[in-house]
Amino acid sequence: MMNTGERDWWQTRWFFAAVVLLATLPLLWPAVPPLTDLPGHIGRYRLMLDGGSGPLARWFVFHWRATGNLGVDVIIAVLGPLMGLEPAVKLVTIAIPALTVAGLLTLSRTVFGRVSPYAIAALPLAYGLPFGMGFVNFALSIALALFALSLWLRMAGSRWRAAVFVPVALAIWFCHIFGWAVLGLAIFAVELARSRHPIRAALACWPLAAPLPLMLATAGGGGVTGGYSLGGKLLPLLTVVRDRWMAWDVAAVAVMLGLIGYGLARGHVDRRLGAAAVALSVALIAIPSWLLGSAYADSRVAPIALMMALVALRPATRRQASAIALIATLVFAMRIAGTTASYAMAAAEQERALVALDHIPVGARVVALVRPGCDDFWSVARFDHLGGLVTARRRAFVNDQFQGNAAALLDVRYPAARPFERDPSQFLDCDAGALARTVSTIPRSAFDRVWVLNLDTPPPAALPGMTRLWVDGGHALYRID
């Protein structure tokens, strides 16, 4: 692509501002962003803000730890008391895709001097599956890692780069360890492409090792690792922007892969980011689906590998650039429109279920029982951790809080509730007798409400020893008599 003095429409400041603002659109309407794990996180934030006082202190202990999973928690600790818990969560969540979009365009401009149209094709990945699942600390760390990689390239040859990147590495690690690992792998690949010497490339990355002493000091209890399947590695790629409509989501992936193929055949590749894309693709193939207690580990890497592959490309001609920019912008706009509609529907579905809170008193003890998407393997789950909003709004005990790895900031202290004291005890099996079988094992003296969500058949009018207080569709609330 010829570097003339004329600035194309996709390289203007108004376009940059427009796509960043457009990226916030799906999250403006819902009062609570309808991301799978986010309600559970909101419940934890309530524990954090209560500071060990109130009804929740009977069942939970919150304690800060120096761990690589603190990004949004720290921000909510500051903003929550100033503007309220849920508005603060909404503000931070809106900022994540906006920062991701800005980071992708900034990285492209750093590499090529101008925004490549291929970078626009990567923008839908700001709403990739990891974000939709509510991995907000991870998503924030990746957005910051994009800016950090851009800064590393800009500071090439500077004697101050090492001093700058010691705190940068620490900040991204504290945000989420995956973001730090992605940044380290990308920078190693960049340096290897530059020097073509593995030892020199590794030595150049030494400022990124700043978190290692903290990791060694807090080692232990890392959580589950496993679930590797080489044959299943195509799934993280196909589901990279999975949300609600399979054909719509897979079509977007097909467009991105098609543009990558076209760019490799007809365009130019920046060898530094190309090397980073290859390294991340190897990581996608190599790592299991569970890594150190983090689910969907390989699915978290897939959108980043695609991001790097697209941002590494540059059209060969002005005509190519114009066509690709138009296609990529239209796809991004359509993805935002679809995601906006999907999130509005999801928020309405959640609000319909949350009417049950009118019948849950402050300080209640609630068993949430959620039927997962047994018949719909594609749509992202919306009810898995909805109980976190009961914890946040009613300061009630609910059995869906995360615990079990070194990154967890809370401990559940309610032995009488076992085996319904924490995640994943809220999930029902998919067979017809799952509800009755599960209800029969609930320790009645430890709870006073049972909240059933997402059944595929009308909830029963009564359960043994329980009175139904509320019902709507596949949702119902029962009082333990």
Provide the domain count of the chain.
2
Same domain assignment for residues 148 and 194: yes
Look at strands 365-370 and 449-453 and give their pairing.
parallel
Locate the DSSP E strands across 334-437: 365-370, 397-398, 410-412
220 and 405 in contact (C-beta within 8 Å)?
no
Whether residues 320 and 450 fall in one domain: no
Written as one string, the DSSP assignment of 279-347 is HHHHHHHHS-SBBTTBTTHHHHHHHHHHHHHHHTEE-SSHHHHHHHHHHHHHHHHHHHHHHHHHHHHHH
Q: Which two tokens stand for residue 409?
A: 């900031």
* Domain end point (choices 343, 372, 405): 343
Residue where a domain stops, chosen among 343, 369, 402: 343
Structure tokens that stand for 303 in this block: 């959108």
Co-location of 286 and 169 in the same domain? yes
Residues 463 and 408 in one domain: yes
Contacts of 197 (CB under 8 A, 6+ apart): none
Per-residue pLDDT of the chain (481 residues), as tens digits, is: 444 456 889 999 999 999 999 999 999 999 999 999 999 999 999 999 998 888 999 999 998 888 889 999 999 999 999 999 999 999 999 999 999 999 999 999 999 999 999 999 999 999 999 999 999 999 999 999 999 999 999 999 899 999 999 999 999 999 999 999 999 999 999 999 998 999 999 999 999 999 999 888 876 555 666 777 777 788 888 999 999 999 999 999 999 999 999 999 998 999 999 999 999 999 999 888 877 667 788 889 999 999 999 999 999 999 999 999 999 999 999 999 999 999 999 999 999 999 999 999 999 999 999 998 877 788 998 999 999 999 999 999 999 998 755 557 888 999 999 999 998 999 999 888 899 999 999 999 999 999 999 998 999 998 999 999 999 999 999 999 8
Which of 139, 149, 200 minimizes the C-alpha distance to 175? 139
- For residue 388, give its domain range: 360-480
Same structural domain, 378 and 469: yes
Is residue 355 one of the residues assigned to a domain?
no
Is 245 exposed, middle or buried, given 0-12, 13-18 or 19+ CB atoms closer than 10 A? middle
On whether residue 164 sits in a domain, the answer given is yes
Q: Is residue 367 part of a domain?
A: yes
What pLDDT is recorded for position 5? 52
In terms of domains, do 311 and 427 share one?
Answer: no
Q: Which residue has the tokens 């890692």?
A: 145
Same-domain pairing of 403 and 338: no
Quick one: 231 and 282 in the same domain? yes
pLDDT tens figures, 125-152? 999 999 999 999 999 999 999 999 999 9
Domain membership flag for residue 45: no
Are 314 and 402 members of one domain? no
Do 314 and 401 lie in one domain? The reply is: no
